[in-house]
Structure 1
Amino acid sequence: MKYMDTTNNVTEFVLLELTQNPKMQKIVFAVFLLIYIISIVVNVLILITITSSSLLGSSVYFFLAYLSFIDACYASVNNPKLIRDPLHEKKTILFKGCMAQVFGEYFFGGVEVILLTVMAYDCYVAICKPLHYATIMNWRVCALLVGVSWMGGFLYATIQILFIFQLPFCGPNVIDHFMCDLNPLLNLACTDTHTLGLFVAANSGFICLLNFLLLVVSYVVILHSLRTHSLEGKHKAMSTSVSHITVVVLFFVPCKSCYEKIIYQGNCLMNEFA
């Protein structure tokens, strides 16, 4: 049981590496550097290709350009420090830097989740209402949907970090992780964080589950509408959706950890009151 302590003596955190082996640290450095470079180059090339051509006139490419920009920003939240740390003996991060890192993770992650759902709606309109597509998905609607994605991500990240930022950290400052994350930070706070941990996990689980359900519903409607299409129309519709479905699967499968955290935190809370 942790008891409340209002003092905050921690000015920086120490991050544990993936490995303490010097040779393995060099491998970690090379792997993260390669992944980061590929991620940035691919997303920048997509962004340049779309913005410098007539493709930007289509709403699907408009959303794809924003998705590439968000991916590049998302990759730049943690990767630069992950690349830098294996080269330095002192692996620390300032308190405010840690909070900024956590906010960036949830901000860009939230924007990307919502934007993927918006792109599913775009696919639905293109396949199910092709004659009204240009009218429904006009520039004003596209800009509004992108704005909703940014605002949703900001609200999500603000809720996640609002209470964490006010927690007292008065002693241990070693984060059992290779980057700043909410759950390791909760373990270091000088107060009981079971209830807060459950809320944080539930907030992550809720946004993932809500958007995943919206995606599932949109594709169920799309598949149902394809029954009346010709074979050629079905192939064209599926080719339009398959890339988006692939991205959704790759993004949401790791989100199962959100629900594992909810179950774990819930069990801790139930044991606390038992």
Structure 2
Amino acid sequence: MTRKLLCTTAVAALVGTLVAQTGEAQRGSTPRIRVMGVSVERALENSGENQFAGFEGTEIKLVIERPTGGLIGIDENNSAITALRDDQGTNLLGNRVGMSGLWVSEVAPDGKRIRLSIKGGAPASGLRKITASGDFSIRTASKFDTFEQKNVSLKDKTEVKTGPIEWTITKVAKPDWGDAALQVTLMTKNDDGAVKQIRFLDENGNDLKATAAGASRMSFGTQSQVERYYQLPKAAQTATIAVEYWSDSRIERVPFNLTVSAGWEDGDRQ
């Protein structure tokens, strides 16, 4: 008799339809949450590692949608995953090695979709369902203002004041990868949640076609620091930096309570 370990990576079957509503949402603009998939993975017994994938645990992939647009992000500090359990009673928020909870992966440029994941630990053998509940604090907006500073020297330690946020250029160099001629790092210690986009213009107001190359955020107690990276296709000594800010940004709380189907079993094979 040999021991069989059966692990399945399950595609989610949403039990019931989840529609999140807010009191201030207009007709036709209610955000909707949909389950896009779920995976469950665990390490082999006594091995301390998962030989089939990178991480042991549970991941439920979601998308928040609103056809009228206006979704600009999620306030992760004020969102909460209050429960994540399997039907065997396992608390999946409390048994994961590493970070659990909410992971935001993408906000669509047209503001109609936010992709995110809920992550937790590995469930128990014999499970059939996983439930999750909590609420998301979603940033929404529809109007924006533009502030710019002309003739900015693209060099380290240059201070940039555009509207409500002060920036510092902390690094200007050729990027380590890609074909861009220049990468500019903008740093701020202010909340940048209301930033719609940042553009670089030449002296005639023509767009230099800078592309956003990512961002990093760090918190130190009550203080935070944000760095945004922009790549320019051509080298430049100076530029006008134009920052678009959402002017009517607000938070909409969207509660959720969902159930997905997933499972694995341990068994014996003759």
TM-score for the superposition, normalised by structure 1: 0.19
TM-score for the superposition, normalised by structure 2: 0.19
